[in-house]
Structure 1
Amino acid sequence: MTSSDTHAGTSSTPGLPPLTPGPYRKRLGIVALIATFGGLLFGYDTGVINGALRPMSEELGLTVFTEGVVTSSLVFAAAIGALVGGRIADSWGRRRTIILLAALFFVGALVCVFTPNFEILVGGRILLGLAVGGASGVVPVYLAEMAPYEIRGSLAGRNELMIVVGQLAAFVVNAIIGTIWGDVPGVWRIMLAVCVVPAIVLFFGMLRMPESPRWLVEKGRTGEALTILRTIRPENHAEAELAEVENITNAERETNQIGWRSILTNKNLLRILLIGIGMGIAQQLTGINSIMYFGQTVLIESGFDQSAALIANVAPGVIAVIGGLIALSLIDRISRRKTFIIGFALTTTCHLLIGFASLMLPVGNPIRPYIILFLVVAFVGAVQTFLNIAIWVYLSEIFPLHMRGFGIGVSIFALWLTNGFLSLYFLTLVEAAGITGTFFLFAAVGVVALVFVATQTPETRGRTLEELEENVTTGAIYTVSAKQNAARRRG
């Protein structure tokens, strides 16, 4: 099923007054800035292992497999964190859950920095993983629920931009520290310690941020919700939006569609849940995080020496941030579906080119490492421009309010689980199949992902969360998309 791009570009909620300029935009910007420190921590904690792994392995005596365990322990824990974090956020509130995650980031970082051995290091990585997974689910939902629908994509998408900023920060910090103090014992501990600072900022910053008004309405606290909406919307827009949210919430209560059993027995809700899971898995099977975690290893395999690879590895981080900025400028102007199709087409092409370059240029060829570096940078740019921000925004907006925490939690659980298996076995795969076989495998999976997106994902851009909620719950989001697709084929 496809949906019409033309519908996505227009307001579908005539009951809401237009969004006019005002001081509320500055308030929204501050809320987004503070909350996305969760994304910054997500990015730094997942990216720092890229440069810290080799000196860490030398000090702690890690093998190829235990390197994979150290890396993937965070990722598997993130799967649990996403699942549990969503449920906590539904019952405890988005804001308080993010504060809890900030404390978990802080404690996990300290455990890793002061670890005396492999076992405690893995324990610290698990704590960080729980925080990363929770942040990956709760922060996008918080931003999507705080944002007016007209700018929901660009506001919620800032979290993914901060993730890649965090990864770039990790690459740059690794390169600087590795170059200056590379021979100092325990240099990797310094790399890991840097993330304590943003954890402190997130904790104290969120103490001053408001709760999600949509969550407050669901809990019957409409007075508080209106007070908050008046600070982040024009006055007349706030009251109209509150009325719309109340109507949808009351309708849901009457249908008693609350709880995972109800979700799994409702074909429309189950279908949107499966689409969310599929999008999360498809994003990870591009292999983007294998590059972000093990980019230095890939570059060494392509022909760079260890020091040059550490510095060259900054390039994918830079292009990730540039791609993220471009994505934010496009996300509220191009339909989600079209963005996904372009993204998977480009990443699959890059996979094929990397595989062929590795096959055609033998090890020792002086241009081999630079060609592969260029193609890796192109791949990262394609993912960040057309997939990562768009998919995270998509997951934050497709689920109805009463299942939003559960839906995004399960979807991101699947995302992180896929990420975890790739992290655990990527180095083993490269060792067994080389760069050529590894990237040809990614290309084959990319074709499957492209077919899935083209046939299954409904459009969400240009619709309020409440309209999407009604369309998903009734199944209209699928039937309308099917009719529009048939009409376009006839035309």
Structure 2
Amino acid sequence: MAFILILELTSAAHTSLVGNTALVAYTIGEAIVTFSAYLTLDWQKLKWVNIIFIGSVLPYLYFMPETPLYLYSKRQYTELETVLRRIATQNKRTEVQWYPSYQKFLGNQSITDVNNETKSSFFKQFRQLFSHRPTIIKVLITDFLGFTTYLLYYEISYGFEVMNISPYLGVVIGAVVEAVGYISGSFLIVSRLGRKGTFIIMMGLTAVCVLILPFVVKVGALPTVIVAQLGKFAISGAISVSWIFVPELFQTSIRSTANGLFITFSHIGAIIAPVISTSVSEKYLSVTFYVSSALGVVALLLTMILPETRGKTMDDEQDSSNIGTHT
């Protein structure tokens, strides 16, 4: 939910930059945890270090406003005006510079909408999510994308354990590779490739790496690590795109629910990947890579059905019926 909050508080021109900066910060967190583990060498001490670090950040959330998009989607215009005035003050905008436009906007809303400040229940959002066929298709596709990306992420993380190096160094190098993937994705999604093109390229490269990894393992440790980290770079780029792309596909009133389902299926993929790897005998382990690669191909093909969202704002006026648009 924090990621959605960040995106909704950001203008459309900076969504990609801010979203991927947050993902890069995740890799910095990986490095910090690794460094803390190296210093403490005790899981209980490491736990307390993490709790203190996270606890120091929590008070900041109290000062974060609710997003204008969310308040608008819930027709909470009184709170919306308060938040907009606060934002205008922070940005040193005078009342004349923004309030007339807000009044004009408010005048275009019906009296019923202005007076309706009740929040939609979860079940109402759920019905809204699954009562529209194009929306259902988008939900199913994005859930599959989430499942596949995280399944491939953990499948490709055939890390540096095949080489005789420090596990701490392995995690740090892996974090650097992830960060490069996130940054590359952030540059590509604002190019002519857009969200769809970037995701398709990154997912395609991942599928190739996963497909050839069983063959490369037989060659040696170094080629295995190179292919695995190239795949990790690619899947990190795909993940960074999906975390920006998926929220942009849904209108504000159902975005949190849709994104919650996306994240849920992502974690299901993350759970299944190691279970499969440890349950399947070594004789058939290569088959899991082939199946995972095939899932990646299916994911990139399904992405072609989704509409491009580059340059579109995260508001309620998006057309939910443009499935299959290739813009």
Which of the five TM-score ranges fits, normalised by the shorter chain?
0.7 to 0.9
Structure 1 gaps of 5+ residues are: 1-137, 182-186, 362-367, 485-491
Residue pair 1:140, 1:396 contacting (<8 A) in 2 also = no
Q: CA 1:405/1:317 → structure 2, altered by over 3 Å: closer, same or farther? A: same
Matched, 1:387 2:245: no
Q: Counterpart of 1:406?
A: 257
Matched, 1:459 2:317: no
Q: Counterpart of 1:209?
A: 64
Residues 178-193 of structure 1 aligned to structure 2 (within 5 Å): 181=41, 187-193=42-48
Larger helix fraction of residues: 1
Q: CA 1:442/1:258 → structure 2, altered by over 3 Å: closer, same or farther? A: same
Residue pair 1:258, 1:402 contacting (<8 A) in 2 also = no
Give the 3-state SS of the residue equivalent to 1:168 in structure 2: helix
Q: CA 1:431/1:395 → structure 2, altered by over 3 Å: closer, same or farther? A: same
Match of 1:165 among 21, 28, 34: 28
Q: Counterpart of 1:266?
A: 132
Matched, 1:149 2:8: no
| Residues 303-333 of structure 1 deviation map (CA, whole Å, 9 limit, x = unaligned) | x34x645533432221112222333333333
Give 1:177 deviation, angstroms.
Answer: 4.1
User: Could you state the TM-score of these two structures normalised by the residue count of structure 1?
Assistant: 0.56
Residue pair 1:268, 1:472 contacting (<8 A) in 2 also = no
Match of 1:354 among 213, 238, 250: 213
Distance 2:4 2:48 in 1: 28
Q: CA 1:351/1:231 → structure 2, altered by over 3 Å: closer, same or farther? A: farther
Structure 2 gaps of 5+ residues are: none
Give the 3-state SS of the residue equivalent to 2:318 in structure 1: helix
Matched, 1:227 2:85: yes
Distance 2:148 2:306 in 1: 12
| Residues 325-355 of structure 1 deviation map (CA, whole Å, 9 limit, x = unaligned) | 3333333334001111111111111112322
Distance 2:107 2:133 in 1: 25
Give 1:378 deviation, angstroms.
Answer: 1.1
Residues 85-484 of structure 1 aligned to structure 2 (within 5 Å): 138-174=1-37, 176-177=38-39, 181=41, 187-217=42-72, 218=74, 219-220=76-77, 221-231=79-89, 235=93, 236=97, 240=101, 250=113, 258-286=124-152, 288-290=153-155, 299-300=160-161, 302=162, 304-305=163-164, 308-333=166-191, 334-358=193-217, 360-361=218-219, 368-384=220-236, 386-429=237-280, 431=282, 433-434=284-285, 436-454=286-304, 456-466=305-315, 469-473=316-320, 475=321, 477-478=322-323, 481=325
Q: CA 1:272/1:248 → structure 2, altered by over 3 Å: closer, same or farther? A: farther
User: Could you state the TM-score of these two structures normalised by the residue count of structure 2?
Assistant: 0.82
Give 1:373 deviation, angstroms.
Answer: 1.4
One-letter amino acid of the counterpart of residue 314, structure 1: V
Give 1:240 deviation, angstroms.
Answer: 4.8
Distance 2:274 2:109 in 1: 41
Over the residues paired in the alignment, what is the CA RMSD in angstroms? 3.2
| Residues 155-210 of structure 1 deviation map (CA, whole Å, 9 limit, x = unaligned) | 12322222222223334444x348xx5xxxxx233333332233123212222222
One-letter amino acid of the counterpart of residue 311, structure 2: G
Distance 2:106 2:16 in 1: 19
| Residues 113-134 of structure 1 deviation map (CA, whole Å, 9 limit, x = unaligned) | xxxxxxxxxxxxxxxxxxxxxx
**Aligned sequence identity (%):** 18
Residue pair 1:277, 1:410 contacting (<8 A) in 2 also = yes
Distance 2:297 2:135 in 1: 26
